[in-house]
Chain A
């Protein structure tokens, strides 16, 4: 069986944390909470933030654009529900601190329902032109849904300076606990494949790889079955390893090529799209639906009803957690994302964004095992962080340079090349927060260059 092929494609370095996907991987996508109000962030993507295009007190419809921006690297935001704009105010954002958001009070509390994906006969992507698809992607406000949130139109649109030849569809989902992409691949296979074909037409790529980690045989089988009889998309089974789903690592695994340090994939003619993004592309192009809902995995040992939920973007984390039965034991940490790269949030009113694929709630015992609660010892120079670094850096040197406030030294060890995957901190026997120091160092460097306010 093709589906049980062991993934040989891999990159150098990386770690293998406990997968913990069993908690939610068998639970089908369900409707998320019916919310009273949503807070649609005006900055849910990398690039210029949007301006609100509605005023306080205005009535909005479901799917109506509420924020937009003229900048090229940006994506508009839409209201997921019909209702009235309550205010335009600040809300907590896991990365950016406080961000302007359009707060919309719902007309009626209705649970979001995932629309069925139905097409008459075979889907033909070629009846759409590249411009048409790109415009639909832009209007629907699509951003990379795997976590980074880079505007999809910018990625997909053909660029004369950097022609794209290969497209890689990222269905790896290497973070522990998260299963939203896995469920999408099982339940929305044809929609995803339609989206892949549309993206192929739009970007002009000649080769497409659909990558899935070898710990998801059901998804590999579902995708392979759906692709039977066509040869435009190749399924590439990759080794289960963290951070296999990282863009740079995935390109390295599949194509044995490195994206230049500080560069972006189109420099070597590659486009990487997350599976959830491709599903949204199909929805945007075929049905003209804006990106207002997404599937979020709520998991972790401390949550009562873990599962994969179809949620309105802008729902607060607290709302979603309450809907999942609240926390069971003494939960101690709420993460936006998985445990490796996810951001711990302090404010449960933080709204979900287009890029938040998971909420992980960890218990005290689990955190107790993690770095900060354990005794830290000096670096014993064991070199494990060098072994696992997928970017072939020297994490301990960078971290200790930052610790001693030697930013020049840190930069000479290529501080900025770090992707912050967290492998070094994960594996460090001395319990040093290597990734934390590196992140801090990057902020210091940005401040030095006056790119960031004090």
Chain B
């Protein structure tokens, strides 16, 4: 009656979810941010995103070929890395630099560790850090959004040049302090623009609205757990508030910290990358709080205006320790052996 019956472990049915569908979800959720980047930075955005994606995918393909491994492009993770890297690059970055960043991100950030799932650090952040360290000047040259004609206030004569090169809001605040002006002088005027995205900055980080739309999609689809993003945002807000209370002249308002820079992009798409974040909920909270706190530490105390890149990498490095610290206890308690 029956010829070929197969035998396997239970369960014999499975949820339709796959690694690819998870990655595609992330791509979809990044679409609003990409659209916003396209709107504000026009062709530059398009070229950078396309470059990074193509370079990332090609690098993964080459690495697989060299290592004689099965093709892993089907999981779409290289596409996600490419997009996130592109969105964290400044608009005026030359294409060749973006290619170097993508190759480094995939080859050194991911493939040398053994590919998807084995990497310790977020590949996109590895690539970006490499670029930031190697091409410091290029990585801090910002472009004016195409929709904006020098709305930015000119704080000091020596900063006039920034009306054209358009520094990021956080860099402005740092400069304001250096020029002995209150940090808030700029923040108050600029808050609205940081929400819509009409400011200088990396491609994907400027528009809060676009990021939040994508994040809502991700959370509704339950593609990422809300713990890490919430922990990042909350801890950044708390530390920003403390700093603002201590010295409201030197430090900008906490809300401004949330809406400007890469904090939201980081919270929802970079820190929440499951491969490099802890597994347990308790671990996720620790990780998220760590990312938020380190970001604010670098922003407030450190020399860089922006700190998400380093804070994510630092917390990535301690993820295995967090996982070990936050072991789950079985529902019935520890067995008494």
Contact = CB atoms under 8 A, between A and B. Distances in A.
Interface of A: 12, 15, 17-18, 176, 248, 252, 258-263, 318, 321-322, 326-327, 331-335, 337, 339-346, 348, 360, 362, 366-367, 369-372, 374-375, 377-384, 386-387, 390-394, 396-397, 413-414, 416-417, 420, 422, 425-431, 433, 435-436, 439
Nearest to A388: B15
Contacts of B334: 261, 414
5 contacts: A263-B332, A331-B2, A391-B330, A427-B15, A433-B9
Interface of B is mostly: loop
Contacts of A430: 18-19, 117
Contacts of B280: 383, 386, 394
Interface stretch (B34-42, B238-246, B271-279): B271-279
Given A344-B6, A386-B328, A381 B14 contact: no
B189 interface: no
Contacts of B277: 381
Nearest to A412: B327
A431 B83 CA distance: 25
Contact of A339 (B5, B13, B74, B329): B13
A380 B274 contact: yes
B2 A327 contact: yes
A392 B331 contact: yes
Contact of B279 (A176, A369, A386): A386
B279 A383 contact: yes
Interface string B258-297: 0000000000000000110101110010000000000000
Interface of A is mostly: loop
A43 B216 CA distance: 55
A386 B227 CA distance: 14
B327 A321 contact: no
Contacts of B77: 380
A370 B275 contact: no
Contacts of A12: 331
A426 B332 contact: no
Interface centre among B225, B275, B332 (most CB of A within 10 A): B332
Given A331-B5, A378-B116, A380-B274, A426 B330 contact: no
A260 B335 contact: yes
A52 to B, nearest CB: 29
Contacts of B118: 378
A344 B10 contact: yes
Contact of B11 (A18, A370, A387, A393): A370
Given A378-B116, A394-B279, A417 B13 contact: no
A427 B329 CA distance: 21
B6 A333 contact: yes
A308 to B, nearest CB: 21
A425 B9 contact: yes
A416 B337 CA distance: 11
Interface in B47-80: 72, 74-75, 77
B157 interface: no
Given A362-B12, A383-B274, A390 B331 contact: yes
Nearest to B284: A383
B303 interface: no
A396 B4 CA distance: 31
A201 to B, nearest CB: 29
Given A339-B13, A375-B74, A380 B333 contact: no
